[in-house]
Amino acid sequence: MTAPYILAKRANLLRVQAAALAWSRLGARVNTVSPGVVATAMAKAEADADSDGHMMRMLDACGAGRPGTPAETADAVAFLTDLRSSYITGADLLVDGGQTAWIRHHMPRG
């Protein structure tokens, strides 16, 4: 299940980068936000169903060591819609407490 997810995320980023070029000529910006595990009812249900505890071990090991909050994700989106980020386009903003970095550099390949 991990490989299809990674492929879909990469395809989405490439789509956003292509759209950013086209839309920038019209004065618009296109970005994407990639949240990590966010403390929601859905994330709790997923953690409860995770019989081997993989999700919680990953959260403990990476960056912030905790799930994010919905407000933290909303703040990232607000930043990208603000004029202070007017030079950012075609980007993927990771709002994941370091989870992606941990996966890339510490997760066993197999």
Model confidence over 19-67: pLDDT tens digits? Answer: 999 999 999 999 999 998 898 998 888 888 888 887 777 777 778 888 9
Write the Ramachandran bin of 107: left for phi over 0, alpha for psi from -120 to 50, otherwise beta.
beta
At residue 60, the 3 state secondary structure works out as helix
58-74 pLDDT, tens per residue? 777 778 888 999 999 99
Other Cβ atoms closer than 10 A to 69: 13
From residue 15, give the alpha-carbon distance in Å to each of 62, 63, 75, 94, 99.
Answer: 28, 28, 24, 17, 23
Residue 64 is predicted with a pLDDT of 87
* 44 part of the active site: no
pTM over 0.85: no
d(CA 12, CA 91): 11
* 87 part of the active site: no
| 1, 5, 48, 108: the active-site residue | 5
C-alpha 37: how far from its chain's center? 9
Tell me which of 109 and 6 has the higher pLDDT: 6
List all residues 6 or more positions away from 70 whose beta carbon is below 8 Å from its beta carbon: 38, 39, 40
| 9, 63, 98, 100: the active-site residue | 9
DSSP state of 68: B
Residue 108 is predicted with a pLDDT of 63
